[in-house]
Amino acid sequence: MKRFGSLGGRLDRRSPWRQASTYCSSKTVAEVGLDIRYPVAIGVLVGVVALGVAAALAWWIPNQRLGDLDFMTQASDSELRDTAHQVLRYPWGNDHDACLVLLRVGNKSSIPYLQKAVRRRQSGSASMECTAAHCREALRRVVMGTGKPPP
């Protein structure tokens, strides 16, 4: 294995490059490679954790909010609408409740989310038919501008 330094091995004391010994390493190339792997592994780990946090913020938290009675009763219409939009952005989640929320507080900004939800729910499953019906009704109400349903 090739070694760094003069004379094919460790730096010689008589070498004119003796002062460079603090900068040069007597480690083999393989040993130096090990030193590089640790920062890369830590960087990858930090990246994976960051992606997990981003997923929690983008998907999990809005779905939990739709099941939280305190949030649902105290949130403003715009907060409810934004939460429903975040839920409908992804193909999995609580589309049923999100469409019900948009049935009440949806506006023109809800149209793309509702269209996407209706397209996803066009299979023949009975449970999906209920969700699809809510999403179609919310979309019709928003597009036709019929306003909010009675409380």
Tell me which H or E stretch contains 40.
helix 29-55
**pLDDT tens track, the chain, 151 positions:** 445 554 455 555 555 544 444 455 555 555 555 567 788 889 999 999 999 888 878 888 999 999 999 999 999 999 999 999 999 998 888 999 999 999 999 999 999 999 999 988 776 566 678 888 999 999 999 998 865 554 4
What is the model's pTM?
0.64
What is the extent of the structural domain holding 88?
67-144
Please answer whether residues 68 and 100 qualify as being in contact, where contact means their C-beta atoms are separated by less than 8 angstroms.
no
Burial of 98 (0-12, 13-18, 19+ CB in 10 A): buried
Q: Within this chain, do residues 32 and 86 fall inside the same structural domain, yes or no?
A: no
Does the residue 126 lie in any domain?
Answer: yes
Q: Which DSSP category does 28 fall into? A: B
15, 117, 138 from 97: Cα distances, Å: 77, 12, 11
Q: How many domains does the chain have?
A: 2
Whether residue 6 is contained in a domain is answered as yes
pLDDT score for 150? 44
Nearest residue to 10 via CA among 22, 29, 26: 26
Residues 73 and 131 in one domain: yes
Q: Is 58 inside a domain boundary? A: no
**Is 62 contained in some domain?**
no
